Copies of this chain bind each other. A is one copy, B any other.
Amino acid sequence: VPTPTSVQLPRPRHGVWFWSSHHSWHLFCYSVISSSISCQCTQSFPGESAFTSWRPAFRYYNMWVSLFGALLCCGVMFVINWWAALITYAIELFLYIYVTYKKPDVNWGSSTQALYYVNALDSALALTTVEDHVKNFRPQCIALTGAPMIRPALLDITHTFTKNNGLCICCEVYTGPRKLCVKEMNSGMAKKQAWLTKNKRKAFYTAVAADSFRDGVKSLLQASGLGRMKPNILVIGFKKDWRTATATQVENYVGVIHDAFDFELGMIIVRISQGFDISQVLQVQDELEKLEQERLALEATIKENDFEEGRSGICGFFRKARTLNISKHETKKDSTINTIQSMHVGEFNQKLLEASTQFKKKQGKGSIDIWWLFDDGGLTILIPYILTIRKKWRNCKLRIFTGGKVNRIEEEKLFLICKYHRQIAHINVINHGKMERS
């Protein structure tokens, strides 16, 4: 039989529980709000006004008061009732993990995103205070890839020596009527940058609309980049169609090279035998995809018809046969298109596609040859050297060809090693058409 005291006790206990858990929730909410506000504040620059960008803000707001409030709440929660506080934390943690795991596909325009912006701007500004020093030289490349998916190999090779070191900007020049160009340019911008991100290329995409290719590149060479993050090397593919291209095109191409030198940029011309441009392949792929989608849509409608016919019983038999006929006919047409295309361009495209991914693969045993004809500042040696420190190019040896006398090999080698601190496998001296290996 319970004593009077033991009967009376449970009630106050429950009361305490409700009271304290109720308080825990309130305090927790307040603490979360305070701390998130206090976090938000860090997104504005430290300075005169602590407003979160230009969003309306409370006049007497101070981030440290918020932080203090948040910490105080956490403390008081435990003081009031430690196990209610623990349960509250457990539930909140569960909710947090749930939201993080589900990742609702909503763009909140959150303050985290605003923080990214402030970070980027702040560090770009901090960089402007850094003085130039030869030790901190970095290859900052502007690659004329057009849309980055069109010339993936050119982007790959550029990325190989900028990946962990420097800037890489993929450029596209739109020529033609301006209104149209700008519209096309702006609509494609997000897609192309997303492609770069998706393919893990640490590069920026930029586009300009100009009257001519050369004018566009001139704009990019001079104006692109921010503060210290400015291109100092132009990477361009070899003009494969220089025999068949119009005089204006060739003039533009050569003009771009001249411009690069005028604006004091380095210059890299990359050549692979198949050429970089795989827009043909992409076009075919697009068409095939479209056909595939059409086929799928057709199949879906046929299935639907089947289902309907199934419901309408035997009466639908003739209709079914007819649709099947149609579908067979359609697929036949598809396959004929495919065969014709594959006969025409299949083999060529296959080679092109293989060539376009060649810099993604591990390079076999081979050598990187440098024709070092005069001391032009060292970029000719630096870029190949950076290649050799990459995993994929590890098996490639550096070979330097240089003019001079055979008996000066050791001297030259010493000079190079002293000046560029590089370990070089071979130096070959070319003298009057003969070639000897050290």
**Contacts A193-B227, A225-B226 given; does A120 touch B124 at CB 8 Å:** yes
B163 contacts A45, CB within 8 Å?
A: yes
A376 at the interface (CB under 8 A from B): no
What residues of chain B lie closer than 8 Å to A222, measured between beta carbons? 208-210, 219, 223
B126 contacts A107, CB within 8 Å?
A: no
Closest partner residue, chain B, to A169 (CB atom): B226
What residues of chain B lie closer than 8 Å to A163, measured between beta carbons? 45, 47-49
Interface residues in A148-203 by Cβ distance below 8 A to B read 163-167, 169, 178-179, 182, 186, 190, 193, 196-197, 202
B264 contacts A389, CB within 8 Å?
A: no
Oligomer copy total: 2
Inter-chain CA distance A206–B130, complex, in Å, is 16
How far is the CB of A120 from the nearest CB of chain B, in Å?
A: 4
Partner of A45 from B49, B123, B164 at Cβ < 8 Å:
B164
Partner of A126 from B116, B208, B262, B382 at Cβ < 8 Å:
B116
**Contacts A262-B182, A422-B56 given; does A229 touch B226 at CB 8 Å:** yes
Interface residues in A118-159 by Cβ distance below 8 A to B read 119-121, 123-136, 138-139
What residues of chain B lie closer than 8 Å to A204, measured between beta carbons? 124-125, 128, 226-227
Inter-chain CA distance A113–B166, complex, in Å, is 14
A55 at the interface (CB under 8 A from B): yes
How many A residues have CB within 8 A of the partner chain?
79
Partner of A220 from B51, B127, B197, B223 at Cβ < 8 Å:
B223
Inter-chain CA distance A131–B189, complex, in Å, is 12
A114 at the interface (CB under 8 A from B): yes
How far is the CB of A418 from the nearest CB of chain B, in Å?
A: 13
Partner of A202 from B125, B196, B197 at Cβ < 8 Å:
B125
**Contacts A53-B138, A223-B219 given; does A262 touch B178 at CB 8 Å:** yes
How far is the CB of A200 from the nearest CB of chain B, in Å?
A: 9
**Contacts A54-B386, A223-B224 given; does A133 touch B120 at CB 8 Å:** no
**Contacts A54-B385, A165-B53, A389-B51 given; does A114 touch B136 at CB 8 Å:** yes
Inter-chain CA distance A224–B264, complex, in Å, is 18
Closest partner residue, chain B, to A389 (CB atom): B51
Inter-chain CA distance A119–B225, complex, in Å, is 15
Inter-chain CA distance A108–B44, complex, in Å, is 32
7 interchain residue pairs of minimum CB distance? A109-B133, A109-B135, A219-B219, A223-B223, A120-B123, A226-B226, A208-B222
Given A49-B389, A107-B133, A208-B222, 7 more contacts at CB 8 Å?
A49-B391, A53-B165, A113-B130, A169-B226, A182-B262, A182-B263, A209-B263
- Complex A-B: 7 CB contacts under 8 Å: A48-B390, A53-B138, A116-B127, A120-B227, A209-B263, A219-B223, A226-B229
